[in-house]
Amino acid sequence: MEQIVIELLKALGWFFLNPLFYWFFILIYISSKKRVEKERVTFGYKVFPTLDEWYGLKRIGLIVSVLLGILFIGLGIFLPPLMIVLLIFYSLIFSLSGKFSWLNSVYIFGSSSLTWLFYPYFEPYLPNSLKVTLTLDHWIIFTSLMGLFMLVEAFLLTRTRNDQTFPERFIGARGKPMGQHRIKKLALLPLIFIWPIGDLTLFFDWWPVFNYQGESYGFIIFPLLLGLEHVISTRRPTDFSRWLVRRLLLLGLLVITLSLLGFLYAPLILLSVVVGLIGREVLLYLTRQQEANGTSLYAPSTKGLKVLAVHPFSPASEMGIETGEVISKVNGCYVTTAAEFYEALQSNLAFCKLEIYNLDGEIRFAQRANYEGDHHQLGLVFVEG
């Protein structure tokens, strides 16, 4: 037991020595800073707090990591040092694009797997610490992880909320203001694996399940970066997420199935990588086509003010106002601009009553008492300036 604790402490040390751990916070800060600057220019104020790209993923990311860690240790999932170097390398390379959508398991694990195809050519130039005898198990583990983290990405997408995506306003082709939502999140998953550096011995004949090819082992905690980024204008973020989650789950399960069938027929392992890469691109293509051919949900309305975003925990959120709805009247006054909305609110400082067109075009009413310190627009962001 004492030796296990020592190896776990070593694994924690490897975690803090990994450049991806620090790179994660640099990416979050840079992305957040650019977003806040853009929000100040577009809306005149900061809509969401700094570092909100990580909001909602800290606790769930840790829970997912613990559950996966139990699975990985139980099965004896191992990562040779070369695998770790490739994951770090491609995570850094893809992150330079500035788009979190590139930090997904298909690109990172898929590119690493394809690099392995050329391992015999660059092996002579590697230090001995990175050399490894590639086996079928190495390939199956790596490609199965690619599919598994597609399932994790789908799970993280289910956490999407309409009041936790970033609103953006731009001028459309006809010179009118238009709106869109950007789903942009970055998760840090501290994952524990076994690897061939350590002083622990294999004390069960059946463990690890995969062919380990070693007599001793240790642990490593690897900080996997998993990013989400999608721009939506024809539907609400939650509706888009549900659409994408179902397809990501199917694609991830297909990749895992093909990878595991590699035990029976090895070429299926490479096919799983190809299916993952092509499948991902098909999903991106379908998303772009739907956005290009669909009708914008966040276009100005002749009925009133179109709601682009709702601040979480704001009066508007308490009243159940949703993105895409239209505010027609405030305290009995028709409103067509943000200035008129504010003036109508000021007509009754103690109470407000809103007439709203919902997404089905039906009228409903929302009301509440006003309190000192409430947001001057109830926490609403409009498509119209």
Same domain, 281 and 312: no
Same-domain status, 236 and 377: no
pLDDT of residue 203: 57
pLDDT in tens, 288-331: 999 989 889 999 988 999 999 998 888 888 899 999 999 999 99
Question: Is residue 208 domain-resident?
Answer: yes
pLDDT of 270: 93
Two structure tokens written together for 182: 């950007």
pLDDT bracket for residue 376 (50, 70, 90): confident
Residue 102 lies in a domain: yes
Encode pLDDT of 25-53 as tens digits: 999 999 999 999 999 999 888 888 899 99
**With pLDDT > 90 as the criterion, what percentage of the chain qualifies?**
58
Is the pLDDT reported for residue 4 higher than 80?
A: no
Provide the CATH number for the domain around residue 322.
2.30.42.10
Q: Is residue 300 part of a domain?
A: no
**Six token digits for residue 254:** 């297909």
Specify the higher pLDDT residue, 162 or 233: 233
Distance of alpha carbon 259 from alpha carbon 261, whole angstroms: 5
Q: What is the pLDDT of residues 271-285, one digit of tens each?
A: 999 999 999 999 999
Residue 67: per-residue pLDDT? 95
Residue 299 lies in a domain: no
Q: Which residues contact 358 (CB under 8 A, 6 or more apart)?
A: 322, 325, 364
Residues 284 and 253 in one domain: yes
Q: Please state, in angstroms and rounded to a whole number, the distance separating the CA atoms of residues 378 and 226.
A: 34
Task: Tell me whether residue 298 is in a domain.
Answer: no
Mean pLDDT calculated for residue range 172-200: 87
Same domain, 355 and 234: no
Helix, strand, coil: what percent of the chain each, to 5?
Answer: 50, 20, 30
Provide the CA 49 distance to its chain's centre, in angstroms.
18
What contacts 245, CB < 8 A, 6 or more positions away?
A: 154, 157, 158
Number of domains present in the structure of the chain: 2
pLDDT at residue number 207: 59
Q: Is the dihedral of CA 127, 129, 135, 140 positive or negative?
A: negative
- Say if CB 251 and CB 283 are below 8 A apart: yes
Residue 185 counted as domain residue: yes
Q: Which of 168, 188, 153 has its CA nearest to residue 27?
A: 188
Backbone angles phi, psi at 196, to 5 degrees: -80, 35
Residue 270 Cα to chain centre, angstroms: 26
Check whether residue 205 and residue 329 sit in a common domain. no
Of the candidates 229, 264, 293, which is a domain's last residue? Answer: 293
Residues 65 and 177 in one domain: yes
Name the band, by pLDDT with cuts 50, 70 and 90, for residue 192.
Answer: very high
Residue 212 scores a pLDDT above 70 = no
**Contact between residue 257 and residue 132 where contact means Cβ atoms under 8 Å apart:** no
Phi, psi for residue 295 in degrees, rounded to 5:
-90, 130
- Whether 221 contacts 12, CB under 8 Å: yes
Report the alpha-carbon distance of residue 192 to residue 189 in Å, rounded.
Answer: 10
Please check whether residues 231 and 360 belong to one and the same domain: no
Model confidence at 211: pLDDT above 60:
no
With a pLDDT cut of 70, the percent of the chain lying above it is 95
Both 200 and 93 in a single domain? Answer: yes
Q: What is the pLDDT of residue 209?
A: 56
Reported confidence tier of residue 152, pLDDT bands at 50, 70, 90? very high
The number of beta carbons lying within 10 Å of the beta carbon of residue 266 is 13
Residues in the chain: 385
Task: Provide the token pair at 30.
Answer: 């840079």
- Say if residue 358 is exposed, middle or buried (CB neighbours under 10 Å; 0-12, 13-18, 19+): middle
Residues 353 and 280 both lie in one domain: no
Give the pLDDT band (50/70/90) at residue 258: very high
CA 244, CA 154: separation in Å to the nearest integer? 8
Q: H or E segment at 306? A: strand 305-310
Domain stop point among 268, 293, 318? 293
- 273 shares its domain with 351: no
Reported as half-sphere exposure (CB side, CA atoms, 13 A), residue 86 has a value of 23
Question: Helix, strand, or coil here: 56?
Answer: coil
Q: What range does the domain containing 323 cover?
A: 305-382
Bridge pairing between strands 166-171 and 216-232: unpaired
What is the three-class DSSP state of 169?
strand
Of 236, 268, 293, which closes a domain?
293
Residues 243 and 312 both lie in one domain: no
What does the pLDDT read at residue 135?
83
Residue 114 has pLDDT above 60, yes or no: yes
> Has residue 134 been placed in a domain?
yes
Are both 223 and 345 inside the same structural domain?
Answer: no
Beta bridge partners of 229: 184
pLDDT for residue 145 is more than 80: yes
- Higher pLDDT pick, 2 / 69: 69
